[in-house]
Amino acid sequence: MVSGKGTNKYYPPDFDPAKHGSLNKYHHSHPLRERARKLSQGILVIRFEMPFNIWCDGCQNHIGMGVRYNAEKKKVGSYYTTPVYRFRMKCHLCVNYIELQTDPGNCDYVIVSGARRKEERWEPEDSGQVLPTTPEQRERLAMDAMFRLEHGVSDRGVLERAAPTLARLQQAQHAWKDDFSLNSRLRRRFREEKKTLKEEEEEAAALQAKAGLSIPLLREEEEDRRLAALLTLRAPDSYEE
């Protein structure tokens, strides 16, 4: 497919590679076509995926996480050396425009206008996540040797407490890694159970035919064996008995 795109391009008779360089320069077009129509304004049209559930302010409808839009991407600032981008898109259910912006400091997105977020957030420490180091802590780590030493000791303590949980997770992940052996083991167990059920059905059918029973026979349980061992069959001594 890629090779076909590269070799099946039409080159006009007056196309000169030394003069034009590429077909895009020959046609005076951008390689990104319509996506770059506002590139002179610093805006690039991209395919944007909604990072969380929101409510549209225009139509009050719910927009789920993962819904994709053609959004205008523009750089609006920087967080230290990380660029901050803003995304502007039109709601697919109404004429309202929604603007979101990256938040590198909190590793998240924030809504600028046009919608409100459906609150489904929780504190990272409640779910056992590792919290990022704040700018104040980074500054103290760079300037204060004692704080850096205490911070390292506390980090090692957190790692030691989390080691058993991490080991269990790795063991569980390794156990589910080999899909072929798990599938083979499961199919083998199903075959054994199917064979046992078939033998029990044949034995029950033979017993029904021998005793002339028309009622279905249930499987024998351990409780049935225990009760049967406690019973004793003997002839009564008298009529009253």
Contact 109/100 with Cβ under 8 angstroms?
yes
Looking at the structure, tell me whether residues 36 and 91 fall in a common domain: yes
In a domain, 232, yes or no: no
For residue 188, give its domain range: 179-218
Do 147 and 65 sit in the same domain of this protein?
no
Residues 166 and 189 in one domain: no
Give the residue, 6 or 204, on which the prediction is more confident.
204
End of a domain among 117, 144, 159? 117
Query: What is the residue whose two structure tokens read 């080999």?
Result: 178
Could you tell me if residue 10 is inside a domain? no
Task: Examine residue 123 and state whether it is found in any structural domain, yes or no.
Answer: no
pLDDT tens digits, residue range 59-86? 999 999 999 999 999 999 899 889 999 9
User: Structural domain tally of the chain?
Assistant: 3
**Rounded mean pLDDT of the chain?**
80
Distances from the Cα of 232 to the Cα of 71, 80, 151, 221, 236, angstroms:
84, 88, 76, 19, 12
User: Which has the minimum average pLDDT: 99-113, 117-131, 212-226?
Assistant: 117-131
Q: Are residues 106 and 194 in the same domain?
A: no
Judge if 169 and 211 occupy the same domain.
no
Residue 126, pLDDT above cutoff 70: no
Q: What is the mean pLDDT of residues 210-214?
A: 79
What's the rounded Cα separation, in Å, for the pair 191 and 152?
A: 55
Contacts of 131 (CB under 8 A, 6+ apart): 124, 125
46 and 70 housed in the same domain: yes
Task: Please check whether residues 105 and 159 belong to one and the same domain.
Answer: no
- Compute the C-alpha angle 48/135/100, nearest 5°: 20
According to the model, what pLDDT value does residue 202 have? Answer: 87
- The answer to whether residues 51 and 38 belong to one domain is yes
How do beta strands 62-63 and 68-79 pair? unpaired
Same-domain status, 158 and 138: yes
54: alpha, beta or left? (left if phi > 0; alpha if psi -120 to 50): beta
Summarised one tens digit per residue, pLDDT across range 217-234 is 777 788 888 887 777 666
Residue 33 domain flag: yes
Q: What confidence tens digit (pLDDT) does each residue in 170-198 have?
A: 777 776 666 777 788 889 999 999 998 88
